[in-house]
Each structure stands twice: as structure tokens, then as C-alpha cells.
Amino acid sequence: MRILIVEDDKDLNRQLKAGMEAAGYVTDVAFDGEEGHFLGDTEPYDAVILDLGLPMLDGLSVLERWRRAGRTMPVLILTARDRWNDKVAGIDAGADDYVAKPFHMEEVLARLRALIRRAAGHATSEIICGPLRVDTKSARVDVNGEVLKLTSHEFRLLSYLLHHKGKVVSRTELVEHLYDQDFDRDSNTIEVFVGRLRKKLGLDLIETIRGLGYRIQDPAPATPGGAKA
């Protein structure tokens, strides 16, 4: 998952980036409203952490411009302001949730997971696909109760496909959401990780849609005779 952090406090920005990356997110950062608006308007993000008190362009204006332009990514606003009307203004401008400073990193991560989960139509941190069960909070993956050991890249790839279960996800989209901007987009890394995932899962869940990308979806139910419907 790819996250944008827009925060002008350099120390806090650095702490948020470290916390997000430790949790497995790919992160981009901006230190003022104009840079943040540009990135959010031109790059694909799964969620944004947005401070309200930004130089150049305030956070509410950034958010309003994104929403007017049809940008629908979940936005978690950060604010040092404790007045209720500031929080209401953020929600009315199109924010999905807020955290007041000072905050605990665990709370930010929990709220971020919830926003990404809800945007993908999932009510809990656990995503089930046939015998495959993935807990996005603990990064636990098991098949028929047997826990699998995945690398961070493998887990991010599997998690992204599951968050978009039933949809065809292109290779370009996977690269944009799972890797830093300096990633070699001409490499065959995605294909390698898909191959490793299939081998570790031991399941025929990840489908290659030739010329389009990959899709993971619930297996077809078996008929009484044992064959799939």
C-alpha cells in the first residue's frame, strides 16, 4: 500500500514515515500544501495523512481541491487544534477520519488500516479467500490453519490483491502502489513475487489475465459431486 504524508514539521514527518515503513507501507512525503496537493493530484495513493496547519496552502484547501477534482483516496487529517469546529470542518471538506496531536503511532496505524479496509469494502482486519486467511493487522497469513512465512514484499503484494479481490490489477498498478518511485518498472520483479506466492500458498487463487494483469478471487464452490460449479 502506498501512503502520502503531508506534514510540515520535519521531525514529525520523519517519525510518521518511519512508522509507516515499519508497518510495511510505501511512503511519499511533502512538507507544504502545494507540494502535497500536487502529489495527491498526480500520483495514486491508497491513503493520505494530511496535516491541517500547512504553509503555502492549508490542509483544508488541499483536501477540498482533491475532492472537487474527484480524488477519492481515504484521508486521515492531523491537527493540533482541539476545537470541535476544526474537526467538523475537516470532515465536511472530505476527510474520512482525524487524529489530534499529540498522538500515539499505534492509533494512527489503526485508523489508517481501518480507512484502507473500508475503502476496499472490508469490515474487519481479516480477509478470507477460500482456505486462505490474512490478518492485515498482524500480517499473519495461513492456509487451512497452517501459518505461512512471507517476505514483506510478498505480503504487500498478496494484501493488495486481496484488498481488490475480484478485480483485475495491472502490473503497472502493483508497481505504483507497492514500490518506491525509483523502482525499476521494467524489471520482472512482480512476476517473480507472484510465482513465489503461488508456490507458498499451494493454491490456485492468483489468476494471470494475459495482457491485463492479475486477479485473486474466491474459489468457485464445489458441487455435491466434488467438482467446482
225 is a domain residue: no
pLDDT digits (tens, 9 = 90+) for 91-127: 899 999 999 888 999 999 999 999 998 887 776 788 8
Q: Domain limits at 197?
A: 126-216
* CA-closest candidate to residue 54, choices 84, 25, 31: 31
pLDDT > 50? residue 229: no
**CA atoms of 12 and 83, how far apart (whole Å):** 21
Count of domains for the chain: 2
More confident residue, 67 or 218: 67
pLDDT digits (tens, 9 = 90+) for 122-168: 767 888 898 999 998 888 999 999 999 999 889 989 999 999 889 99
Q: Is residue 224 predicted with pLDDT exceeding 70? A: no
Q: Does the structure show a pLDDT above 80 at 177?
A: yes
Q: Is residue 177 part of a domain?
A: yes
Q: Determine whether 116 is exposed, middle or buried from the number of CB atoms within 10 Å of its CB (0-12, 13-18, 19+).
A: buried
**CATH number, position 142:** 1.10.10.10
Q: What is the band of 16 on the pLDDT scale with cuts at 50, 70, 90?
A: very high
Specify the pTM.
0.76
User: What CATH number did the domain enclosing 22 receive?
Assistant: 3.40.50.2300
Is the domain of 82 the same as that of 176? no
113/10 same-domain check = yes
In a domain? residue 188? yes
